[in-house]
Amino acid sequence: MTHEWADHRIFEVEDGAILYGVDHASLFLIDSSVQEVINRWGNDPTVDLSKVSESDRDVLEGLRDIRLLIPAGSAKSWPPVRFDPEEFPMSTMVLEVAQDCNLRCTYCYAEGGSYGGQSRLLDSETARAAARYLVKESGDLKDLTLVLFGGEPLLNMPAIKAAVEEAEKMASAAGKRLLVSLTTNGTLLNADIVSFFRDHRVVVSVSLDGPPDLHDANRPYASGKGSYSKILPQVQALLENNTSAVAARVTLTPDQWSRCEEVFDHLMGLGFHEVGIAPASPISKDLFPDQEQEDVLLQSFAAMARRFSRAAREGRILPFANLIELLGRLHMGQTKAVACGAGYGYLAVDAGGEFYLCHRLAGEKDFEVGNLETGPDPEKIRSCLGHVTAGKDEMCEKCWARTLCSGGCHYENHLRENTLGIPPGSSCNFILRWLQIGIELYADLRHAGADKLLAQFEKRTGC
Ligand code: SF4
Ligand code: SF4
């Protein structure tokens, strides 16, 4: 039978090469003999296995077995089959309990945390209704996630308590497991709140951007005063009393990207169990990075990957969330037909009880897709998804990362394309280089025999 090459890419690494199969996001360490056979036959549009030398045939049959050589004329895997949002039960609800904040972070999408003066708190009855909706509409799913978000969610503890208690009661009656997570700026934590989180096993992330000078530059109060010294004692109480791991969620502006390692070390020194570092979204042109700044960030992430590798060789996991999430996906061979779960069982509910495609798009009328009374409107979800993915299929078709990225975050794309007027694809170079860092690290860990360590990441995914 005649075969043709499935889309693949070879990454040269120190100890050999990695063969990456695009369709299945599969990774294989290969030696020079396999690479030579691929080089010999790789430019032929088709390969007839009966007409190659015996030694080449052995290698090519191995490549066929791992679906790198496929029967000629097989269906192409891109564009992927598009699912119907209606087929997806609710699995994750992001509840915006407070569209208000006591800080004025420089990179905040909500007009520096002020919400343009339109701050709103979710009332407790609506919080309970949202919790009931999540459980009732979850079909046969056994695992549900309720994410409590803001603004600053701790401005509205009554709604948090109402939502958590109702969701727990409903989930328990339905025989489902519920995960509750919450991201806070930490300023309003107190003993009662910490004990509520402990009793209800809430997984808490604290937005803390690093050492005082850096954090205070990013996350001041409305008065201009920094928030670091206020947060620190509250966070210590949380770290000492919470039964779940507590993560620090860092946001850095492009001029701060050279400080990633220092930030990581500072936060680990405070006792956080894990640290994730996100580049600030380009809500305005001055936060849109230039090439040099992107290089600096990638160099910082590459340095973190080297530290990760050294720790793994000592049998330890470096708790850097960015790499843990990516390694988990690579290890599971998790491919993406869509960029994220938004609209496919993942929806946000804002403080007024309206559904949005994603929490970061809450408040944008074009992404409102129904409300708690009427339920999400499948037609509106389809139309939103159609709008945010328009033009991506063609752009992504020839990209080796398409099954890992699938077009990128809708919110980030929307910001760049609609707010800044930058054409699609402006973040691709960064995405590709970041994925390559992850792939090379993954190969390195496999090479080092760190399979048991990798297996621990299997349950980790992003949004
Ligand atoms: S990196 Fe760019 S071209 Fe590649 S899949 Fe992602 S969005 Fe598409
Ligand atoms: S990837 Fe982006 S669009 Fe999708 S859920 Fe996450 S933040 Fe929202």
Confidence class for position 278, pLDDT limits 50, 70, 90: very high
Residue 135: its pLDDT value, please?
98
Question: DSSP state, 421?
Answer: -
pLDDT digits (tens, 9 = 90+) for 447-459: 898 888 888 877 6
Give yes or no for residue 461 having a pLDDT over 70.
no
Residue 334: its pLDDT value, please?
84
Q: Between residues 356 and 73, which one has the greater pLDDT?
A: 356
Residue closest to 441 by CA, chosen among 335, 308, 320: 308
Cα(70) to ligand 2 centroid in Å equals 34
| Tokens representing residue 203 in the block | 């997984």
Q: In the structure, which protein residues have their CB atom closer than 6 angstroms to any atom of ligand 1?
A: 395-396, 399, 401-402, 405, 407-408, 425, 428, 431-432
Gyration radius (Cα) of the chain, Å: 24
Give yes or no for residue 256 having a pLDDT over 70.
yes
Give yes or no for residue 80 having a pLDDT over 80.
no
How many Å apart are CA 1 and CA 49, to the nearest integer? Answer: 7
Choice among 389-403, 414-428, 446-460 with the minimum mean pLDDT: 446-460
Confidence class for position 115, pLDDT limits 50, 70, 90: low
Confidence class for position 114, pLDDT limits 50, 70, 90: low
pLDDT digits (tens, 9 = 90+) for 186-240: 999 999 999 999 999 999 999 999 999 999 999 999 999 999 999 999 999 999 9
pTM as predicted: 0.93
Highest mean pLDDT pick, 29-43, 258-272, 326-340: 258-272
What mean pLDDT value characterizes the chain?
93
Residue 286: its pLDDT value, please?
92
Count of other CB atoms within 10 angstroms of residue 116: 9
Residue 13: its pLDDT value, please?
85
Cβ contact 21:33 at 8 Å: no
Give yes or no for residue 116 having a pLDDT over 70.
no
Residue 388: its pLDDT value, please?
86
Give yes or no for residue 291 having a pLDDT over 70.
yes
Question: DSSP state, 416?
Answer: I
Give yes or no for residue 460 having a pLDDT over 70.
no
* CA dihedral sign of residues 134, 371, 336, 250: negative
Q: In the structure, which protein residues have their CB atom closer than 6 angstroms to any atom of ligand 2?
A: 340, 342, 358, 360, 409-411, 463
**Residue in the structure block whose two tokens are 């294989």:** 28
- Taking residues 51-72, report their average pLDDT: 94
Ligand 1 atom 1: residue of nearest CA? 428
For the chain, give the percent of residues with pLDDT over 70: 97
Choice among 52-56, 67-71, 385-389 with the minimum mean pLDDT: 385-389
Cα(291) to ligand 2 centroid in Å equals 24
Q: Is 258 exposed, middle or buried (0-12, 13-18, 19+ CB in 10 A)?
A: middle
Cα(411) to ligand 2 centroid in Å equals 6
Rounded to 5 degrees, φ, ψ at 335 are -95, 160
pLDDT digits (tens, 9 = 90+) for 151-161: 999 999 999 99
Residue 172: its pLDDT value, please?
98
**Residue in the structure block whose two tokens are 């509205």:** 156
310-325 b/e with 16+ CB inside 10 Å = b? ebbeeeebbbbbbbbb
Residue 213: its pLDDT value, please?
97
Nearest atom in ligand 1 to the alpha carbon of residue 435 is 1
Rounded to 5 degrees, φ, ψ at 427 are -105, 0
Ligand 1 atom 5: residue of nearest CA? 402
Residue 6: its pLDDT value, please?
93
3-state secondary structure of 71: strand
* CA dihedral sign of residues 64, 68, 69, 71: positive
How many Å apart are CA 130 and CA 137, to the nearest integer? Answer: 10
Q: CA angle 83-333-147, nearest 5°?
A: 60
Residues 6+ apart with CB under 8 A from 85: 343, 344, 378, 381, 382, 385
